[in-house]
C-alpha cells in the first residue's frame, strides 16, 4: 500500500506525559497537513508543510504542540504535557500542490 | 472567516430513494468546494470536487454561489452509500488547507 501511513494507530497516555506521532506521506507529495478530529466534529486544520518548511499553524496548535518534517519526507507531531482535552483523532494528509489531499488512517489519542 | 455548515447530522433513506446531503458555506472569496466520504473502518477519501464537475458513484454536486451551497445529490441511493459525508472548503491561496463541516451520517436502508 503506497498511501499515507500513520504510526501508532492508537495511543493511550496519562495526563502530563509527552507523545509523538509519525506520518509518512505519499512519496512524491510535497505538501503535508495535520488535522485533529474530535467526536462529532469534522477534521480541523492544525498545520501544514511544503517540503520541509512549516508554513502555517492554526491557533489550535498551542505551545505544547510541535511539528517537524525533516528533509521534506515524514513528519512528526509531538504533544508535550498532554491534557485530557488533547484526546482526539490526529489525521495526516499529503498532496501535490493544489490537488487532492490523501488522508492517512489517523492516530487515536486517549489521555487518561 | 470561512465556515462550512452541514445542517443534518443524520440522514436515513431507503434503497432506491433520492438523497440530498446539504452543505452551506461562508467565505468572502472564491472557494473551492469538496465532498469527502468515510466508509466504515476506512480512511477519509475524496468523493468529488466542484471544479471537476464529475459524477462519482452516481453523486453530483453543484456549486451555487448565490445561495452559498454545495449540496450532494444522488437520484437512487444504494446500501453501499451508507457512510459519513463531509463537505469541505479550500480557500486556495498558497496552502489549500481544508475547512470541514461536522459531517452527515447517511444510512441507506434495504
Q: Are strands A10-13 and A107-111 parallel, antiparallel or unpaired?
A: parallel
Whole-angstrom Cα distance, residue A15 to residue B76? 48
User: Which chain A residues are Cβ-neighbours of B100 within 8 angstroms?
Assistant: 42-44
Check CB contact under 8 Å for A56 and B101: no
pLDDT at A1: 54
Q: How many CB atoms lie within 10 A of CB B26?
A: 13
- Spatial CB neighbours of A92, under 8 Å, sequence gap ≥ 6: A4, A6, A23, A25, A32, A33, A34, A35, A75, A77, A103, A104, A106
User: For residues A58 and A45, is the Cβ–Cβ distance under 8 A?
Assistant: yes
pLDDT at A105: 97
Check CB contact under 8 Å for B97 and A48: yes
pLDDT at B31: 84
Of B78 and A2, the structure prediction assigns the larger pLDDT to: B78
pLDDT tens, position by position, B22-59: 999 998 878 889 999 999 999 999 999 887 777 789 99
Residue B73, pLDDT > 70, answer yes
Whole-angstrom Cα distance, residue A50 to residue A42? 23
Check CB contact under 8 Å for A98 and B92: yes
User: For residues A35 and A47, is the Cβ–Cβ distance under 8 A?
Assistant: no
pLDDT at A79: 97
pLDDT at A2: 76
Chain B interface residues (partner A, CB cutoff 8 A): 4, 9, 43-46, 49, 86, 88, 92, 94-103
pLDDT at A108: 98
Name which of A66, A93, A72 is nearest A30 in CA terms.
Answer: A72
* Among the ranges given (A66-70, B72-76, B93-97), the one the predictor scored with the smallest mean pLDDT: B93-97
Check CB contact under 8 Å for B95 and A56: yes
pLDDT at A99: 76
Check CB contact under 8 Å for B98 and A41: no
Best B46, B96, B101, B104 member to test A by mutation, with max A CBs in 10 Å, is B96
Check CB contact under 8 Å for B97 and A95: no
* Residue the block writes with cell 443524520: B10
Tens of each residue's pLDDT in chain A, 112 residues = 579 999 999 999 999 999 999 999 999 899 999 999 999 999 999 999 999 999 999 988 889 999 999 988 999 999 999 999 999 999 999 998 777 899 999 999 999 9
- The shortest CB-CB distance from B102 to any of A33, A41, A48 is to A41
User: Which chain B residues are Cβ-neighbours of A33 within 8 angstroms?
Assistant: 97-98
Check CB contact under 8 Å for A43 and B44: yes
Whole-angstrom Cα distance, residue A23 to residue A12? 18
pLDDT tens, position by position, B4-26: 999 999 999 999 999 999 999 99
- The shortest CB-CB distance from A55 to any of B9, B45, B95 is to B95
How far A111 CA lies from chain B's nearest CA (Å)?
22
Amino acid at each position: 500500500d503506497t498511501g499515507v501511513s500513520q504510526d501508532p494507530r492508537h495511543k493511550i497516555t496519562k495526563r502530563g506525559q509527552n507523545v509523538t506521532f509519525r506520518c509518512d506521506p505519499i512519496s512524491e507529495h510535497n505538501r503535508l497537513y495535520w488535522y485533529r478530529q474530535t467526536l462529532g466534529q469534522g477534521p480541523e486544520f492544525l498545520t501544514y508543510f511544503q517540503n520541509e518548511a512549516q508554513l502555517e499553524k492554526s491557533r489550535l496548535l498551542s505551545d505544547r504542540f510541535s511539528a517537524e518534517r525533516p528533509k521534506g519526507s515524514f513528519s512528526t507531531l509531538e504533544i508535550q504535557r498532554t491534557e485530557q482535552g488533547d484526546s482526539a483523532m490526529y489525521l495526516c494528509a499529503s498532496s501535490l500542490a493544489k490537488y487532492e489531499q490523501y488522508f492517512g488512517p489517523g492516530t487515536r489519542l486517549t489521555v487518561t | 472567516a470561512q465556515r462550512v455548515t452541514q445542517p443534518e447530522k443524520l440522514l436515513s433513506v431507503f434503497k432506491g430513494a433520492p438523497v440530498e446531503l446539504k452543505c452551506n458555506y461562508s467565505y468572502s472569496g472564491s472557494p473551492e468546494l469538496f465532498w469527502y466520504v468515510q466508509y466504515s473502518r476506512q480512511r477519509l477519501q475524496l468523493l468529488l470536487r466542484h471544479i471537476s464537475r464529475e459524477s462519482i458513484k452516481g453523486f453530483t454536486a453543484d456549486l451555487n454561489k448565490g445561495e452559498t451551497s454545495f449540496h450532494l445529490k444522488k437520484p437512487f441511493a444504494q446500501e453501499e452509500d451508507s457512510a459519513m459525508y463531509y463537505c469541505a472548503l479550500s480557500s486556495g491561496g498558497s496552502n489549500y488547507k481544508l475547512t470541514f463541516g461536522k459531517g452527515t451520517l447517511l444510512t441507506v436502508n434495504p
